[in-house]
Amino acid sequence: MSISQPYLLFLGDVTDPLAAKTARGIHQWRPNSCVGQLRLTDETVSLGLDEMSLQQAQELGAKTLVIGTANAGGVIPKSWQKTLIAAAEMGYEIASGMHQRLSDITPLKTLQEEGQTRLHDVRHYDGTLEVGSGKKRSGKRLLTIGTDCSVGKMFTALAIEKALQQRDVDAQFKATGQTGILVQGSGISIDAVVADFISGAVEAVSPEFTDHEWDIIEGQGSLFNPSFAGVSMGLLHGAQPDAMVLCHEVGRQHIRHLPHAKLPSIEETIAANQQAARLTNPNAKVVGICLNTSSIDEEDARELCAQWSEEYQIPVTDPVRFSVDSIIDNLLAK
Amino acid sequence: MSISQPYLLFLGDVTDPLAAKTARGIHQWRPNSCVGQLRLTDETVSLGLDEMSLQQAQELGAKTLVIGTANAGGVIPKSWQKTLIAAAEMGYEIASGMHQRLSDITPLKTLQEEGQTRLHDVRHYDGTLEVGSGKKRSGKRLLTIGTDCSVGKMFTALAIEKALQQRDVDAQFKATGQTGILVQGSGISIDAVVADFISGAVEAVSPEFTDHEWDIIEGQGSLFNPSFAGVSMGLLHGAQPDAMVLCHEVGRQHIRHLPHAKLPSIEETIAANQQAARLTNPNAKVVGICLNTSSIDEEDARELCAQWSEEYQIPVTDPVRFSVDSIIDNLLAK
């Protein structure tokens, strides 16, 4: 999957600021890839970008119209179709993280068949894959892992990529989930591939390389999430990480959506991931912990990070509040 | 997926006895579900069943024509299509474990749409699934696990089902792979579902039950196979087994198809599976080991089983040579 940049971010007629999370993430991490925003109504949420028409954005170089919003059913509203079809007719690519496929909209499908547009349904994967081999590949890899889903694995990976680049270390983010794919313009939604190909898909996302220094691979799920641990396991084996960064949300009471399922301890999460990762990389090691401390105040968060750094003998930080510098120091000192 | 029995086993024009492994497995475990065999030529391999036409088999009650052979490409040969189409026109269901879908053959697809037949492509799964929850379900479950792929997990599960039934313990085999599904007439090919739904698919294959005593769930892959461990992990969590039986092939030098990947030790296989299984069943325990000892002679095999029983303090047997009685004794003594 390779999505042409820069983007025009499409916000539809969404009024819930949370529903524009994807668009906000893209703009946060790739501001230079966002030419502007397109809203259908005055009530639509705004990212504060330049407001523009399809025509204006295309004149400024926009190549892809990105649906940067989510909704409950994942269905593309009828009221958006006119704009999407107009964009496709103008030669825009269209990218979407919705459940419903763009190609389910007949005029879009036809325009793609005619070569007028390319449709990117990043939540799905239709390409051909090989099964993973676990064979050692050249290049260094860092994978973000977690105690659960939605604990900051994408954010952390992007923060580490940025911090490494700021120190002139050539690092590339590798996306395994829908928002990550839209940010990067490439990647595979690992949880959408056929089960046999999980590790093979990760091997395809981060193949052998010698032209840069690090691949920073976005993790998914958790070995301790009873719904999705298979995905996390295959991801771990396919990534064959040299380094792992553990992500955790302070104060989370149980596994997301599953009140009967306990969160694992930090110790067991580190141990289980290191043990499993060593199947394909005997040197795999957790080099830092990133906490989402938004549920406590900054002073308490600072203290907790210091305490845990002491306890686990690795850097512990909140990437939003305190940066990932301590983890980068540890990574580069290895 | 629910395939009507009894079957007429279709052997096509296959001359390699190994290529009829699936048909042989079905007949071995469900002789009463096999009305007879249909061969296209005199040179075709034979299972020694009664030879019959579609007409004759239907008069004897056959409901489904089962493609009981495999070939390298997984493509359904042109020379078989006449027979398959004739069967569908007569109202037979058709079941196949080939890669190519039956519904790719237009006349079969049409007959299915007209309600004349039902097509079962057991290597694929198109149904709707929910993500797993890991919630405790009623009923006792045994899962076969392995040091690798193709070490006897289906055979062992079926042997355990049979041995339990012979002791009047009501046990039901639950299939997770193509041959197992054809044997049982139901199940889901776990490695063919979308990665997000691995454990959910197993929860669907072995739902809550109170009407019998044990579900005997067919395992897949190995936590130590770098290609497929994600499938095995999700299967383990979805199965939430009370008991596990470890399968291993004596003399295997490395992970199948991967000369660079070492086989795990018995100790680490038991430890890793028990640890992971306890996420959804804190009482999960390995209760026996089934060896494929075909590479050594019977006397050596007997000695090896005795030695390992001593070493691992659980029953160790070759289910083909020595039955699974010792494991059943241990299971029922729990």
B38 neighbors B65 (Cβ within 8 angstroms): yes
Query: Which of A132, A135, A230 lies closest to B260 in CB terms?
Result: A135
**Claim to verify: residue A40 and residue A184 sit in the same structural domain:** no
| Separation of alpha carbons A130 and A150, rounded Å | 28
**Claim to verify: residue B144 and residue B283 sit in the same structural domain:** yes
**Which residues on B lie below 8 Å from A254 (Cβ)?**
none
Does A126 fall in a domain? no
**Claim to verify: residue A98 and residue A185 sit in the same structural domain:** no
B141 neighbors B206 (Cβ within 8 angstroms): yes
pLDDT < 70 stretches in chain B: none
Give the domain extent around A98.
7-121
**Which residues on A lie below 8 Å from B241 (Cβ)?**
none
A129 shares contact with chain B (CB less than 8 Å): no
Does B132 fall in a domain? no
Q: Which residue of B has its CA nearest to A134?
A: B226
**Claim to verify: residue B106 and residue B214 sit in the same structural domain:** no
Partner residues linked to B173 by β-bridges = B216
A235 shares contact with chain B (CB less than 8 Å): yes
Looking at the 3D structure of chain A, how many domains does it have?
2
Query: Which of B136, B194, B279 lies closest to A194 in CB terms?
Result: B194
User: Cβ separation of B231 and A231 shorter than 8 Å?
Assistant: no
Does A278 fall in a domain? yes
Region of A289 please: left (phi>0), alpha (psi -120 to 50) or beta.
Answer: beta
| Separation of alpha carbons A132 and A272, rounded Å | 21
**Claim to verify: residue A101 and residue A38 sit in the same structural domain:** yes
Does B193 fall in a domain? yes
Residue A310: the pLDDT is: 98
ipTM over 0.90: yes
Q: CATH number of the domain that B38 lies in?
A: 3.40.50.720
**Claim to verify: residue A111 and residue A166 sit in the same structural domain:** no
Mean pLDDT, rounded, of chain B: 96
Q: Residues of A numbered 253-312 whose beta carbons fall under 8 angstroms of chain B's beta carbons: which are they?
A: 258, 260-261, 272, 275-276, 279-280
Residue B104 in tokens: 């790719």
User: Cβ separation of A234 and B195 shorter than 8 Å?
Assistant: yes
Residue B204: the pLDDT is: 98
**Claim to verify: residue A185 and residue A284 sit in the same structural domain:** yes
**Claim to verify: residue A169 and residue A281 sit in the same structural domain:** yes
Q: From the CA of B86, how many Å to the nearest CA of chain A?
A: 33
Pick the closest to residue A197 from B104, B191, B321, B190 (CA basis). B191
A175 neighbors A205 (Cβ within 8 angstroms): yes
Residue A74: the pLDDT is: 87
For the beta carbon of residue B58, count every other beta carbon within 10 angstroms: 18
Residue B71: the pLDDT is: 82
Give per-residue pLDDT as tens, B204-259. 999 999 999 999 999 999 999 999 999 999 999 999 999 999 999 999 999 999 99
Does B134 fall in a domain? no
CB contacts < 8 A, A to B, total 128
Series of mean pLDDT values for 10-residue runs along chain A (334 residues): 95 92 96 97 96 98 95 90 98 96 97 97 93 97 97 98 98 97 97 96 98 98 98 98 98 95 97 98 98 98 98 98 98 89
Boundary of a domain, candidates B76, B92, B121:
B121
Longest Cα–Cα distance in chain A = 61
User: Cβ separation of A231 and B196 shorter than 8 Å?
Assistant: yes
**Claim to verify: residue A60 and residue A113 sit in the same structural domain:** yes
The position carrying tokens 């640890």 is B275
Q: Residues of B numbered 27-86 whose beta carbons fall under 8 angstroms of chain A's beta carbons: which are they?
A: none
Pick the closest to residue B192 from B127, B103, B238, B124 (CA basis). B124
**Claim to verify: residue B144 and residue B115 sit in the same structural domain:** no
| Separation of alpha carbons B108 and B219, rounded Å | 32
Does A312 fall in a domain? yes
**Claim to verify: residue A152 and residue A294 sit in the same structural domain:** yes
Q: CATH number of the domain that A209 lies in?
A: 3.40.50.300
